[in-house]
Each structure stands twice: as C-alpha cells, then as structure tokens.
Chain A
Amino acid sequence: MSGRTAEGGRIDRTQRLKFQFDSETMFGYPGDTLASALLANGVRVVGRSFKYHRPRGLMAAGGEEPNGLVRLRRGGRAEPNVRATDILLYDGLLAESQNRWPSLKFDLGALNDRLSPLFPAGFYYKTFMWPASLWPTYEAVIRRMAGLGRAAESPDPDHYDKQYAHCDVLVVGGGPAGLAAAQWAGRTGARVILADEGAEFGGALLGNGQRIDGGAGMDWVTGVVAELGEADNVRLLPRTTAVGYYDHNALVMLQRVADHLARPEPGQPRQRLWQVRASQVILASGALERPLVLSNNDRPGVMGAGAAQTYVNRYGVRPGRRAVLFTNNDSAYPAALDLAQAGVDIAAVVELRPTAPLGWLSRLDEQGIEVLADRAVVAVEGRGAVKAVQIGKLNQARDGAIRGMGRRIECDLLCFSGGWTPSLHLFSQSGAKLDWNAAMGCFLPGDAVQAVRVVGAANGDFALQDCLDQGAHAGNFAANQAGQRRRGRGPRTPVADAGPDLTAPLPIWSIPGGGRGQGCGKAFVDFQSDVTAADLRLAAREGYRSIEHVKRYTTTGMGTDQGRTSNINALGIVAEALAVDVPQVGHTTFRPPFAPVTFGALAGRRIGGLLDPVRRTPMHTWHQANGAAFEPVGQWLRPYFYPRDNETMAEAVDREVLAARSSLGLMDASTLGKIDIQGPDAAEFLNRIYTNGWKGLAVGGCRYGLMLGEDGMIFDDGVTSRLGPEHFHMTTTTGNAARVLDWLESWLQTEWPELAVYCTSCTEQWAVASLCGPNARRLMAALCPELDLSPEAFPAMTWQAAKVAGFETRIFRIGFTGELSFEINVPAGHGPALWQAIMAAGEKYAITPYGTEAMHVLRAEVGFIIVGQETDGTVTPHDLGLGRMVSGKKDFLGKRSLSRADTSRPDRPQLVGLLADDPAIRVPEGAQLIAGANPAPPQVGIGHVTSSYYSPTLGRGFALGLLQGGHGRHGEAVHIAYDGNAVRAVVTPPRFVDVGERAK
C-alpha cells in the first residue's frame, strides 16, 4: 500500500500538522515537505503542465522538481510557482494547484493535449504572425492557457532583508563533501559560511541511508553540524540557496528565513538576500538524477529512483504500492532494496545495459526481486496515474523494439534512473568552462577561473568516500589559500561504506516507443516547459544547429527549474539528431539566478518611501502648511504651485506670475546646486571650465557661466560669485549639482593636478529665498535698514554680506525672472525663520510665494533657458544665441569642438520664440516643427518645441523651440504638428516680456 510507513524517516510522528491542498484538509508531520505530505495523503496529481495541461505528479524530492509547483498561502502573502519539494510543512499551510481551470481533476485546457499536433515547437512563432493587430487578443488567450501561477493580488505584509557578508571560505552545499570541507576549513580558524538549500544538512545522506564509520551516515552529519554550530568562526545557513556567482567571488544567496512558518515572527523578515564576498569558494552542489525519455514518461507515478528512495527513507512515505524500476546505471539497485524494505512491492528492475551488475544482482535475488537486463520500458500506460508499463528489447539500431519480445507489467510507480548530472550551474556562472565526459555521460568542471573548487558529486566523484576525502582536502586547502597558515587539527578522515557505482551509465538519450496502444505517446524531455523529444528533433530538422537557438525555439530549459533535469537529455537528443558529438552541440549558458528569487528579496527594504531618498528644503514644512503642491525635481521635492481656495493649477500659476511681475514674489531656491571653490588657482580653473572669462571678475561680483562638455555641447549653467581673491561660490542647476562637482573633480584630479583648487559641495548648508518684483527693493529696505540698496551702491550681478531680519546672510543681486531680484542665502537652520520674516514684512506688498511652474513661465517670458529643457546634450551656446558668452581669447573645455564642421554649420537647430496664430493654444512640449500645413506623414521635422506655457502677462500661449536656421527666420511662419493637426505659428526672437528699467 502507498502512504505512510509504519516507522522510520526523519519526521516527528508525535505531532500532527493540519494543512490544505486545493481546499481539501490533510495531515502531515514536522519534518515533512509539502511534497512528502501530499504523497502520504495519496495525492498523485499535483498540477497541470504548462502547454498541454497534462496531469502531472511529483517527479523529484528536491529542488529539481519540475512539476510540483503550487501557489502557497493566500491574500498578500500568496506566492506562486513554489516547488512543493521546497516547502516545509507547517500547521495551517494553505496551497493550491496551478494552471488548471476550473479544477485540477477537470481542466478544460487539457484539450490542448488532444490538439497537440497543432502545437509543435515554435508554434507561437509560426501561428500568431498575422494579423499583427490581433496580437493583444492572442496574447490574452495564450497567457491564460499557457502559464504558471498567479501573483498575489494585494500588497505583501511581510518585509525582506539584505545582508552583506565577507568570509575566507564559502561552502555551497551541505552534503557529505560540503560538510567535510566546512569542518576542515573551520578547524583552521578561517571564517567559514556553509549554505544549503535544504532545511537539514546532510544532502544525499538524508535520503540514501549510506553508512559512515560503521554507523548511520546521518549520525556523522549530526556530529559535524554540532561541531560547526559551536564554532564562532563558522556561520551555518540552512534553507539558503546560492543563486548567483559573479565576478571576484561575489555570490548572492537567498535565505528562506520564515517560509516554513505561516507568518514570520515579529521583527523577522520572510526572506533575506545575502551578498557574500568570499576569498575562496567550495562548490559541493551535488548531482541530479536524470529522467529517461520515453513514451508518456510524465504520467503521475513516474519518479526518479533516488527521489523514491528519499521519500521512503527520509519521510517514511511510500510513493506507490507496486513499482518497476528502470535504469541505465547502478543507482536504482539500492533504491529498489530500500523501497522493498519499506514495503513497496518491486515488480521488476529493468536494466538498459546488456548485463546487470553482479553484486547488486545477487542482493536483489536474495529479496526475490526480478531483474530484466538488456530490456527497456518502452511505454507507460495510464493517464491520471501509472497503470502499467510495457517492456521490450531494443533492436540493434536502438530505434525500435524487437517484435514479440514485449511484456506488460501492472504497477502504479515507475522509478527511473538515467544517470547523474553534476550540478554545475554556479561553477559555470563563475566563468569556467565545462568538459564533456563521454564515458560518464555528463559535463564535468573544467579549469576554474576564479578562486573556486568543485568537490564530490558535483565534480563527478559520486562515491561517498571520495566526497568525504575531497571535501576535507579542499576545506583545508582553501583555508590556507585564504591566509590561514594554521593547519586544522585534522579530524580523522571518516570511512564510508561502498555505495553504488554511478560513473558508467549507458546513455540512450531517448527510448524508442515500441509499445502497443499508447506506445507512441509524448516522450518528455523538459517537463516544466512541456518539450518533447519530437520537438527537439523537429527543431534539428528545421535547421537549428546551435543549442542556444534550439533552446529559444523549443523553450527547453527555460522554465523556473532552469532545465535541471532536462539539459543533458536535450543535448544528447539534439546531438543524435544532428549526428554529431555532444561537445559539438555545446551547452547553453547558465545564467543567474539558479533558483527563482522573489521580487521582495531583491527589493529588500527599498520599497515605498525608502525606494529613493527624498530631499526636502529647510522651508518644506512652511510650504506644506501653506498648501503647496509639490513637484519632484531629481530627488528634491519642490513647491510646484500654491493653490488658494478652489483654484485650479492654471489659476494659481497665473496669479503667482502676475504677483511677481506687478509687486512681489518669493521662491524657495534652496535646491540650487552650490559649490564652494577655493584656492590660489580658483580663477584660472573657472576660466578653463566656463566659456567666458573669470579673471577680471572683481570680489563682490557675480557672473553667469556656461559649461560645455569637450564635445562643445552645453552641460550646465549657473551664476558664480567671487567671495574673495581665492574664493568663489558656484551655483548649478538643481538636478545637475552632483554631476558638476564630479566634473570639476575629475579635471582637477586627473588633468590639472598642478592647480591648487578645492571644491566642496555646500548645497544643503544654505537656504535660499529668492525675492523678485517691482517692490523687492522697498521690502529689502525694511528688512535690512543699514544697507544702501540703491542701484549705484548695490547694482545687479553683485553680492553683499549683510543682516536680513537679523540673520547674517549673503545677498546676491541675481534672479531668474527678469524682475528686480534679491537672492538671500542664509545658513540652512535659519531658513524657515528668515522665510517667515520676509513673508511677514512683505504682507503690505501682497507678497506671493510662487512655485516651480510660475518660475518656468517667468523665465521663459524673458527668454532664459533651462539646461535639460532647451538643451539635450546636442545644443551649443551659439545654437541658443549665447555666442556673446563664448570667449575668443582663451581656451576652455569644449572650445575646439565649436569650430568643427557640424557644430558650426548655419542650419543647426537654433533657439526661437513661437507664437501660434490662435492665442488660446498651448502647444505640447516636444511637438515637432514642420514646414507645410499638412501634417500627414511622412514628414521631415525641422525642429521641436522645448518650452510652452500660457503667459498671463501677455494673455496668450507662447513657446520656445529649436528650429533649423532659426536665428535667420524671425517673422516666418512654421507649423507645429501634434494630435494629427498642424498649428501655424510665427517665429519670433526668444524674448516675450520686456521689464524695462524696473529691474535695475
């Protein structure tokens, strides 16, 4: 009978756990996985396959399981596509099968299987080509019918962490080889991390019952784990999968901290992503059992022999009542003995090789188990479950079975062993090549290119004694390489009993279908992606030669299991179809992640408000209290506009603009980039950085400057002021402050180290209140009565240190609106108090705070450019009509580029004003300029709109744009194309409002 054995296994039978699968209540024990508990409850069908919706059962007991993907938990904690073999059972666990509708037993999508001649390899590419307009429809249907699980519908209430770690030796894999490595490395005193994807260390020993030092293998494991657990220099990470191996021994590992609990403990993350930098890495990643490819080899009840052995030994679960084992190597024999021991009726062991190994043969004979050598299972009968297998003898060419030699055996379990594949995904990710070993029928590690060693089964050394010896040696050696001179006081090397020889399988990549009736069923290679041997052969016939192309065309190896069970079989079948050796086909590139990683773990704590830091100005609280709407500018939050009562944005902006033009406006300009520049060569440095001259600027003076890249294109602009003979205060655009500082530093450090200049960011040290409007001087007079504010004493483009409302400030006579302006800089802590003092004193002038949108309108009305809006990295000073800013006397960065043929041609896009005939129209920024009135394509663009606003000053819309040869086209008409229309506009100089004498 199937189900739970009477005793044995690493489960706690004293405690019963209740769980639900597809709303059916079931029971298991601590120590179970969801997979073992489902088997114990008699569940055969755990899911429907990806493309054909065929019923599928569990095939493996570990991370290579391709079929048993479920949706775990509900609500915000729901997680799709989790392998049942990875889920530790807990009380109250909820799981659902996937990819079936309306139910697992009756699934409409299964029609795909009946219609399968319509779904060959490349079906989607071949079929859904035309008409392209129907793609959205096709896609919606395909997505529903072919696919995996559904994501959670509500936010995940749990949190995820990231942790960095450094170590001398990182051991990946906690089987016998990995444990020996960690033990020996640990005894040298080296800092060791041992990670294993399972909940328990022990690897293959957990399932195969092999013996060490005359006792149970797991007793040895328990001793080693206890020793490592007590060592301060060793960190044990169970439930931790190494998923990525990057340059210079950087590895990423996913730790499932609380996935074995219904919900994490308070304060505990659900998962943690480790980023480890290791001096030395030891990969003890084991090997995976390959399926045999034969007709209907995906029926529920077909399972790896090693997996079946693990289910009886580790979990005390019989995966079937009556079993046939089918093998091409020795490993099925001990599995047969263990299954028989657990009470499974072994109908036969079918041996693909001409003769069965004598030693094992006699041991099976003692148990009365029949061995059929030189035979093959050629077909599996049954649909929802295995009912019987058909056995035949292959002909010489191995492309069919010999007639009359067949036999049928009833059974409900078929255990295969198609040989073992060393798990070398991580080794391959480390940049190393793999070498094909024809005798062993698998890839083995080639030369390492990083500080890494592969040991044990991953190295093709399957014997337990080899695993222990290699692990111990590698652990000691790696610790020494990492700088540990001390040799570990060696534990005596443990001695293991001999196990099965796994090194000489008979590789027959695909068993020909020789059975009757269902004998011509599908022979699956990749179970998760539903790829059959016939699909691979079809790809070869259609001309695919590279395995990378075959992979993409057939989707073999592209599932969440990364083709762990399918890669080698697929290679073998393709090589055979192309009549070449496997190395000529090569293998696909292994890429991270080795196992699926949740988005939660990748994001860690960087979600919501922590995704990106938000920078707020010192006056932010005031803006909030006064109803400002905010606009993100880089990481800054800036007041966008300040709506009053029920004002719309447009109404608020108009009011703010008119206030600044007619009386008084106040803007928070604290976000402007500010760099303090000092040193004897500071003026010379600025002379090289900016297009204009700086040596003649007097102390107390301010000057507007343009910075170019060496390609001659505008990079940044701003006003820089001379605070002293060797001291300047530079301002940059808000979004560019860090880049400008980097730019200055790079020239000072690498090209002009002889210049004694020191640059320091002081953006956040100063709060800036920018005051503008016809009443600005009157208000300033009230705020700083001691200062002579007359245009003669304090002219535009100068600065003075003075007290404003009692605060020590720097006042700059600069602005960005064309109006009479004072930019008041105060140490950041005084910003809010100064701001409030200005607002209070300005009340009699109806002082109006304005935001970035009004600032944009004000500056565009007077034709001031914004870097990043009027420029896009392809615009020179001459293009903007700023040729007067470019010095002819000195060299500066980018100067030579301005005279290159393309940079100096006369028909370059140049800055112009644009006034649409209809004054009510506000054209969209980015709209293309075209010559004719007909907007129908094809069109040749002659420029584009860079800025566009409604001007309350003018009572109409207006725009700035870049127009080919625009400087010479004032007065001409162009058309602005958008939304299928062409709006006629007149080209003007880029200046719309004249402030006259009032700004002096």
Chain B
Amino acid sequence: MLLLECPWCGPRSEEEFSCGGEGHIVRPLNPDELDDAAWGDYVFMRRNAKGVHFERWRHAHGCGRWFNVARSTVSHEILAVYRVGDDKPKVAP
C-alpha cells in the first residue's frame, strides 16, 4: 500500500489514487503521417521498466488531478512527484 504525495493534497494512501501507466507518452501531432509501426508503438508499446519508472497517477478519490510519479518498480520507493507538463526529474534508483 503505497503512500503517494499528491502535489495538491499532500500524502495520501494508494487506495485514493488510480494509476494511469507510463507517463511522458506524447500523442503524435500528425497521426496520418505515421506508418502503422510508429502509430502502433505509440498506442501499444510500453517500457515495463525494472528500476525507475515514470508514471501517471490520478488522485481519483481526492482532487481528481493527474500528476507524475517517479517510482522504483523494484523497491516501490517514490523517487519524485511532479506536475503534468514538468520535465522528467533526474533521480537515482
């Protein structure tokens, strides 16, 4: 049961949140110009990282806001919490 720090509400238990999977996946601006492989990569392919994972979470049963988390998938340590649109922070696993 993770303890996540919502950037707007503060530390809350995992059960208040929903996880939105890998973060920093940008929707292509001109999908028509992509071939099937490139579009398929955007829609389906995810990193499934062992170690630092940058992912999206939503404070679903709180303020409702999406934000980003850098989490170690090995230890579940939360390495950083930052807002949507911010760059990936530099974190050491």
A residues apposed to B, CB below 8 Å: 246-250, 275, 277, 431, 449, 710-711, 742, 745-746, 749-751, 753, 891, 895-897, 900-901
Max chain A Cβ within 10 angstroms of own Cβ: one of B32, B42, B66: B66
> Roughly how many angstroms separate A711 CA and B39 CA in the complex, as a whole number?
10
In contact, B13 and A749 (Cβ under 8 angstroms): no
Within 8 Å of chain A (Cβ to Cβ): is B88?
A: no
In contact, B3 and A897 (Cβ under 8 angstroms): no
> Roughly how many angstroms separate A895 CA and B32 CA in the complex, as a whole number?
9
Residues from chain A with a CB closer than 8 A to the CB of B79 are: none
Residues from chain A with a CB closer than 8 A to the CB of B42 are: 710
Residues from chain A with a CB closer than 8 A to the CB of B62 are: none
In contact, A248 and B3 (Cβ under 8 angstroms): yes
Within 8 Å of chain A (Cβ to Cβ): is B89?
A: no
In contact, A897 and B13 (Cβ under 8 angstroms): no
Within 8 Å of chain A (Cβ to Cβ): is B46?
A: no
Q: Would you give the shortest CB distance from A889 to chain B, in whole angstroms?
A: 12
Contact count band on B: 20 to 34
In contact, A897 and B43 (Cβ under 8 angstroms): yes
In contact, A896 and B76 (Cβ under 8 angstroms): no
In contact, B31 and A896 (Cβ under 8 angstroms): yes
12 residue pairs A–B, Cβ–Cβ below 8 Å: A248-B2, A248-B3, A277-B3, A449-B75, A710-B42, A745-B58, A746-B20, A749-B65, A753-B85, A897-B39, A897-B43, A901-B36
In contact, B27 and A751 (Cβ under 8 angstroms): yes
Within 8 Å of chain A (Cβ to Cβ): is B9?
A: no
Given the contacts A247-B2, A247-B76, A749 and B43 also touching, CB distance less than 8 Å: no
Residues from chain A with a CB closer than 8 A to the CB of B34 are: 896
Residues from chain B with a CB closer than 8 A to the CB of A246 are: 1
Q: Would you give the shortest CB distance from A712 to chain B, in whole angstroms?
A: 9
Residues from chain A with a CB closer than 8 A to the CB of B78 are: 248
In contact, A710 and B43 (Cβ under 8 angstroms): yes
> Roughly how many angstroms separate A742 CA and B18 CA in the complex, as a whole number?
10
In contact, A895 and B31 (Cβ under 8 angstroms): yes
Within 8 Å of chain A (Cβ to Cβ): is B53?
A: no
Residues from chain A with a CB closer than 8 A to the CB of B27 are: 710, 751
In contact, A711 and B43 (Cβ under 8 angstroms): yes
In contact, A746 and B66 (Cβ under 8 angstroms): yes
Residues from chain B with a CB closer than 8 A to the CB of A250 are: 1, 3, 13
Residues from chain B with a CB closer than 8 A to the CB of A746 are: 20, 58, 66
> Roughly how many angstroms separate A320 CA and B29 CA in the complex, as a whole number?
83
Within 8 Å of chain A (Cβ to Cβ): is B7?
A: no
The closest CB in chain B to the CB of A897 belongs to B43
Within 8 Å of chain A (Cβ to Cβ): is B80?
A: no
Contact of A247 among B1, B40, B43 (CB under 8 A): B1
The closest CB in chain B to the CB of A252 belongs to B1
The closest CB in chain A to the CB of B38 belongs to A896
Residues from chain B with a CB closer than 8 A to the CB of A901 are: 36
Q: Would you give the shortest CB distance from B33 to chain A, in whole angstroms?
A: 9
In contact, B1 and A900 (Cβ under 8 angstroms): no
Residues from chain B with a CB closer than 8 A to the CB of A275 are: 1
> Roughly how many angstroms separate A193 CA and B58 CA in the complex, as a whole number?
31
Give the contacts of B14-68 with A (CB-CB under 8 A): 18, 20, 26-28, 31-32, 34, 36, 39-40, 42-44, 56, 58, 60, 64-66
Residues from chain A with a CB closer than 8 A to the CB of B75 are: 431, 449
> Roughly how many angstroms separate A768 CA and B37 CA in the complex, as a whole number?
46
Residues from chain B with a CB closer than 8 A to the CB of A745 are: 58, 64, 66
In contact, B32 and A896 (Cβ under 8 angstroms): yes
Interchain pairs with CB closer than 8 A, number: 58
> Roughly how many angstroms separate A751 CA and B26 CA in the complex, as a whole number?
7
> Roughly how many angstroms separate A711 CA and B60 CA in the complex, as a whole number?
24
> Roughly how many angstroms separate A746 CA and B58 CA in the complex, as a whole number?
9
> Roughly how many angstroms separate A449 CA and B76 CA in the complex, as a whole number?
10
> Roughly how many angstroms separate A249 CA and B14 CA in the complex, as a whole number?
12
B residues apposed to A, CB below 8 Å: 1-3, 13, 18, 20, 26-28, 31-32, 34, 36, 39-40, 42-44, 56, 58, 60, 64-66, 75-76, 78, 84-85
In contact, A277 and B13 (Cβ under 8 angstroms): yes
Residues from chain A with a CB closer than 8 A to the CB of B3 are: 247-250, 277
Q: Would you give the shortest CB distance from A433 to chain B, in whole angstroms?
A: 12
Q: Please give me the 9 A-B residue pairs with the lowest Cβ-Cβ distance, nearest first.
A: A896-B31, A250-B1, A248-B3, A749-B66, A247-B76, A246-B1, A710-B43, A896-B39, A750-B84
The closest CB in chain B to the CB of A688 belongs to B27
> Roughly how many angstroms separate A277 CA and B44 CA in the complex, as a whole number?
36
> Roughly how many angstroms separate A895 CA and B58 CA in the complex, as a whole number?
26
> Roughly how many angstroms separate A918 CA and B2 CA in the complex, as a whole number?
59
Q: Would you give the shortest CB distance from B35 to chain A, in whole angstroms?
A: 10
Given the contacts A250-B3, A896-B31, A753 and B84 also touching, CB distance less than 8 Å: yes
The closest CB in chain B to the CB of A251 belongs to B1
Residues from chain B with a CB closer than 8 A to the CB of A247 are: 1-3, 76
Residues from chain A with a CB closer than 8 A to the CB of B76 are: 247-248
Residues from chain B with a CB closer than 8 A to the CB of A431 are: 75
Residues from chain B with a CB closer than 8 A to the CB of A750 are: 56, 66, 84
In contact, B31 and A248 (Cβ under 8 angstroms): no
> Roughly how many angstroms separate A449 CA and B36 CA in the complex, as a whole number?
44
> Roughly how many angstroms separate A449 CA and B72 CA in the complex, as a whole number?
13
> Roughly how many angstroms separate A329 CA and B59 CA in the complex, as a whole number?
55
In contact, A900 and B56 (Cβ under 8 angstroms): no
Residues from chain A with a CB closer than 8 A to the CB of B43 are: 710-711, 897
Contact of B31 among A249, A742, A753, A891 (CB under 8 A): A891
Residues from chain B with a CB closer than 8 A to the CB of A891 are: 31-32
The closest CB in chain B to the CB of A891 belongs to B31
Residues from chain A with a CB closer than 8 A to the CB of B65 are: 749
Residues from chain B with a CB closer than 8 A to the CB of A900 are: 36, 39-40
> Roughly how many angstroms separate A431 CA and B3 CA in the complex, as a whole number?
16
Contact of B84 among A248, A710, A749 (CB under 8 A): A749
> Roughly how many angstroms separate A974 CA and B66 CA in the complex, as a whole number?
49
Q: Would you give the shortest CB distance from B90 to chain A, in whole angstroms?
A: 22
Residues from chain A with a CB closer than 8 A to the CB of B2 are: 247-248
Residues from chain A with a CB closer than 8 A to the CB of B66 are: 745-746, 749-750
> Roughly how many angstroms separate A745 CA and B13 CA in the complex, as a whole number?
22
The closest CB in chain B to the CB of A431 belongs to B75
> Roughly how many angstroms separate A901 CA and B40 CA in the complex, as a whole number?
11
> Roughly how many angstroms separate A599 CA and B40 CA in the complex, as a whole number?
45
Residues from chain A with a CB closer than 8 A to the CB of B40 are: 900
> Roughly how many angstroms separate A746 CA and B76 CA in the complex, as a whole number?
24
> Roughly how many angstroms separate A746 CA and B23 CA in the complex, as a whole number?
12
Residues from chain B with a CB closer than 8 A to the CB of A896 are: 28, 31-32, 34, 39
Residues from chain B with a CB closer than 8 A to the CB of A710 are: 27, 42-43
> Roughly how many angstroms separate A710 CA and B2 CA in the complex, as a whole number?
29
> Roughly how many angstroms separate A711 CA and B41 CA in the complex, as a whole number?
11
> Roughly how many angstroms separate A749 CA and B83 CA in the complex, as a whole number?
10
The closest CB in chain A to the CB of B64 belongs to A745
> Roughly how many angstroms separate A750 CA and B18 CA in the complex, as a whole number?
15
> Roughly how many angstroms separate A749 CA and B42 CA in the complex, as a whole number?
19
> Roughly how many angstroms separate A249 CA and B11 CA in the complex, as a whole number?
13
Residues from chain A with a CB closer than 8 A to the CB of B31 are: 891, 895-896
Residues from chain B with a CB closer than 8 A to the CB of A895 are: 31
Residues from chain B with a CB closer than 8 A to the CB of A449 are: 75
Max chain A Cβ within 10 angstroms of own Cβ: one of B27, B56, B64, B84: B27
Residues from chain A with a CB closer than 8 A to the CB of B20 are: 746
> Roughly how many angstroms separate A67 CA and B41 CA in the complex, as a whole number?
58
Residues from chain A with a CB closer than 8 A to the CB of B64 are: 745
Q: Would you give the shortest CB distance from A484 to chain B, in whole angstroms?
A: 18
> Roughly how many angstroms separate A897 CA and B42 CA in the complex, as a whole number?
11
